[in-house]
Each structure stands twice: as C-alpha cells, then as structure tokens.
Amino acid sequence: MELEKTIRTMGALCPLPTAMAETEWDLDTHLDQETEDDQESLARVLIHNDDVTPMDFVVVILQRIFQLSPLEAEHVMITAHFNGLALVATLPLSEAKTRVGKAHFAAQLEGYPLMFTIELI
C-alpha cells in the first residue's frame, strides 16, 4: 500500500477512500480565496441632512446602530446639519450595508426620511 493512499488513525493504518486518494488538493488556491474574503473592501457610511428627521432621533440611531459615543453622535449630526452630509464610519462593505439597512428600517418605522449612503473606498 502506498504511503500517500493511507492515513494513520489511532495508531492503525487505514486505506483512504479511492476518491480522496486520487484527489489533488490545491491548498494554496483555497488559502488565497480565504485571504481575499478576509480583505473585504472598506466603505464610508455618510449621513445626509434632511429638514424632517428630529436631531434627537438621529443621535439615537448613530449611537445604537453605528455604536458612536454620545459626543461622536452629536458631532456627526451637527456636521450633517450644517454641511449637508457627514462621515459616520468607515467599515467593511458588508457591515456598512447591514448597519445602513437597519438605520433606514428604523427611520421608516418612525416615518422619517433619514438617509445614509455608502461610498466604496
């Protein structure tokens, strides 16, 4: 029996199933794919000012969904109020999409037009 076609299990040599023994494993390709997934694109989350959404509501959304401190949330809200938009956070793209979706959902439940956008870096 060839060494490549056997596996040691609890001290005994056991033959590998034929399909496994004849399969060529390309571990480098698999590792490269995992590395690419781990290095997901970053994105900026921006908040846009509107004349309807209460400032207190915006601050609460920024704290609860984007996990900003009270001071950071107020700063972002005021910046958006005076400049029209403000940077909320830089996050992996999937996380940015999730948080923006939650923020839009919460605003819609309350009937507010609060808007966030995602900008790829």
All CATH 3.30.1390.10 domain ranges of the chain, comma separated, are 42-120
Residue 41 CA to residue 120 CA, distance in Å, equals 7
Q: Which residues lie closer than 8 Å to 41 by C-beta, 6 or more apart?
A: 92, 93, 120, 121
CA angle 117, 93, 86 (to 5 degrees): 35
Q: To the nearest whole percent, how much of the chain has pLDDT over 70? A: 68
Q: Which helix (H) or strand (E) holds 115?
A: strand 115-120
Among the CATH numbers 3.40.50.2000, 3.30.1390.10, 2.30.42.10, 3.90.660.10, which is that of 42-120?
3.30.1390.10
Query: pLDDT tens digits, residue range 35-54?
Result: 455 568 999 999 999 999 99
Q: To the nearest whole percent, how much of the chain has pLDDT over 90? A: 67
Rounded to 10 deg, the angle between the 93-110 and 55-64 helix axes is 140
Query: pLDDT tens digits, residue range 7-30?
Result: 444 444 445 455 545 555 455 555
